[in-house]
Structure 1
Amino acid sequence: MGDLTLLQTILIAIVEGLTEFLPVSSTGHMIIVQNMLGVQSTEFVKAFTVVIQFGAILSVVVLYWKKFFKLNKCKIIDKQATYNKPFGGRVVVYLKRFLYKFDFYWKLLIAFIPAAVIGFIFGDKIDEMLESVTVVATMLVIGGIFMLFVDKIFTEVDESKGVTEKKAFNIGLFQCIAMIPGVSRSMATIVGGMTQKMSRKTAAEFSFFLAVPTMFAATAYKLLKLFLEPNGIEILSQNVMALIVGNVVAFIVALLAIKFFISFVTKYGFKAFGYYRIIVGGIILVMMFLGHNLEIV
């Protein structure tokens, strides 16, 4: 199958599907599984771990298809009254109608913008940090300690106004924190939602929705970057089967992971994920201390 065997492809995709939407950092898990399997970190493998996110985000669209494909119904506009308004007034009316109809996408766009801007400006620096296993492990532990107390810190819930533009933008700012490897995009956006007085369930679901444009953009960028490499077309053609299998497996596993996570976090909160993060981060740090080379090369 090219740079990856069938078994390696399936196992990495399972890890991606399981961890992408949980607040445990898929990056940290990728480091562990790649090293356990002895996978060489080639240009394709680096792209593969990002591209199979497409399968994971497709699971969100399938599970919440009504959110993505059912637009808000607008009240009928009095065309005559609107026509009698000045041109500027008519523009405002139709703009408000448009934004209401596409409210769901509008909020996602607002939340997506901060990460898109920061990612574009600091993309190279972020790639450098991704190669630091120490940063990943440290942030896993720090984030884990924080998650032990997050349920007690954010107890106030007020969803009377729904997800406003301001809330969406603030969650988008929190998503930027996840550019530090090991933080977890899911953790950052869920905590961001809870700071906006969202319930755990609502914050988690908005985190899933925001993952779609964010991860789609990352996948497209990674594929384009690989495609533009001198031998990019050849690399992709040699590994097409790995990409297909990886996305299918990630899609199926992510479907199950999302259903489990929503049910679990609604009942029990985030403390268990905090302990889990500390254990995983601790394992990585101990392995490095004992001389195991976990650096991505």
Structure 2
Amino acid sequence: MDFVHAVLFAILQGATELFPVSSLGHAVVVPAVLHWGIDQHGPGFLPFLVMLHLGTAIGLIAYFYVEWLTMARGVLGLGYKAENASARALFAKLVVATIPAVIIGAAFKKPISHLFGTPLIACIFLIVNAGVLLLGERLRRREAHQNGISYRDALIIGLFQCLAFLPGISRSGAAIVGGLQRGISHAGAAKFSFLMGTPVILAAGVAEVPKLIHEHQLHALLGVSLVAAIVSGIVAYASTAFLMHYFKNHDDWALKPFAIYCAVAGAGSFLFLEAGL
């Protein structure tokens, strides 16, 4: 992978990981449509993507540093009593929301791993993602959620997040849809989704870094991967800032434009690839 493609991948990752359009789906489809000639089944492709996820996680931590600092102080008992209790409750809810992904990911990682590098299947699931977003908007609970996110809400959002194990289904989009079904606003669900996803994305990146360093065939990718990770983090920070503002101001229909985009992009890319263009 050359430097230009690596930077383009970083920009793509930094935006699509947070936007409800599936970063993995785009990472599979875009190189195929644009004929970048990248071996998506090669040993360096997945670790490179995970390095971009590492950059994205750092961008998220930078944006929500106040929340993470407050949670750290609360867990360590360094804040005021009420502040500690609230911070510990939020941390516990994030743990509860993460449990389904850990269990389901461990059970189904191998059976579905072969789908990750299949552009046509990713195109189909981009269309499915559009349906998930539209259905989520249509079936959302309209009554106001008065008491914040409960442990039950966190678990249900975590279960919805697991839809993203299918390439083309957005993790953030699925989590936001889960929040909407619990009567949580787009902005509230998005913030919880971004906080929930940060440790998972960070842990996956940290786990793959040794492969980039120690495996001979991946060593050459380390330098460009680090640059790409930085770019991804910057784009992720900007994307998060935009989305939090957007969701606060478009609570009635916020997911619909992304659903339309996914439907058009998925169908158009599928037809393009099938035609051999």
TM superposition score category, shorter chain reference: 0.7 to 0.9
Aligned-partner Cα distance in 2 for 1:278–1:168: 28
- Cα deviation for residue 49 of structure 1 reads 1.1
> More displaced, 196-205 or 34-43?
34-43
Matched AA of 2:220: Q
Amino acid at match of 1:39: I
Change (3 A) 1:138 1:112: same
Q: Which has the larger radius of gyration?
A: 1
Please give the alpha-carbon distance, in whole angstroms, between the structure 1 residues aligned to 2:226 and 2:209: 14
What corresponds to 1:40 in structure 2?
39
The alignment status of 1:7 with 2:4, answered yes or no, reads yes
Post-superposition offset of 1:205: 0.7
Q: Which amino acid aligns with 1:124?
A: K
| Structure 2: distance between partners of 1:60 and 1:279 | 28
Tell me, what secondary structure is at the counterpart of 2:200? helix
The answer to whether 1:29 aligns with 2:26 is yes
Equivalent of residue 100 in structure 2, options 105, 114, 127 = 114
Deviations along 1:11-57, whole A, 9 cap, x unmatched? 11010011100111112211233232222222112210122111111
Q: What is the aligned partner in structure 2 of residue 244 from structure 1?
A: 226
Asked if residue 274 in structure 1 is aligned to residue 274 in structure 2, the reply is no
Q: TM-score, normalised by structure 2?
A: 0.87
- Number of aligned pairs? 265
Structure 2 vs 1, CA of residues 101 and 256 (structure 1 numbering), >3 Å: closer, same or farther? closer
Rounded to whole Å, the distance in 2 between the matches of 1:172 and 1:115 is 7
Higher mean alpha-carbon deviation, 135-144 vs 176-185, is at 135-144
Which aligned pairs between 1:224-263 and structure 2 lie closer than 5 A? 226=211, 232-263=214-245
Equivalent residues of 2:140, 2:182 under 8 A apart: no
Deviation (angstroms), 1:245: 0.6
Runs (4+) of structure 1 exceeding 6 A deviation are: none
1:123-142 matches, cutoff 5 A: 123-142=109-128
* Contact kept? 1:204, 1:262, Cα under 8 Å: yes
| 2:81 aligned residue | 75
Within-5 A mapping of 1:92-107: 100-107=86-93
| Matching residue's letter, 1:274 | A
Report the Cα offset of residue 61 of structure 1.
0.9
Equivalent residue of 2:114, what SS? Answer: helix
Which among 161, 184, 200 is matched to residue 170 of structure 2? 184
**Partner Cα distance (1:205, 1:291) in 2:** 40
Q: Do 2:51 and 2:209's aligned partners in 1 also have CA atoms closer than 8 Å?
A: yes
CA distance in 2, matches of 1:235, 1:210: 33
Distance 1:66 1:274 in 2: 31
Unaligned segments of structure 2, at least 5 residues: none
Please give the secondary structure, in 1, of the residue aligned with 2:168: coil
Query: Is the 1:53–1:247 Cα contact (8 Å) retained in structure 2?
Result: yes
Distance 2:53 2:154 in 1: 22
2:87 & 2:215 partners in 1: Cα distance? 41
- Alpha-carbon shift at residue 130 of structure 1 (Å): 1.5
Paired with 2:222 and 2:274, the residues of 1 have a C-alpha distance of 38
- Give the C-alpha shift of residue 117 in structure 1: 0.9
Cα distance change of structure 1 residues 100 and 265 upon mapping to structure 2, 3 Å threshold:
closer
Bigger Cα displacement from structure 2, 27-36 vs 241-250: 27-36
The gaps in structure 1 that reach 5 residues or longer are 77-96, 293-297
**Are the aligned partners of 1:67 and 1:104 in contact in 2 as well (CA < 8 Å)?**
no
SS at match of 1:43: coil
Q: Distance in 1 between matches of 2:112 and 2:85?
A: 33
Percent identity (aligned): 26
Deviations 1:251-283 (A, max 9, x none): 111111112222223333111101100111012
After TM superposition, the structure 1 stretch with the greater mean CA deviation from structure 2, 266-275 or 214-223, is 214-223
Aligned with 1:210 (options 190, 196, 204): 196
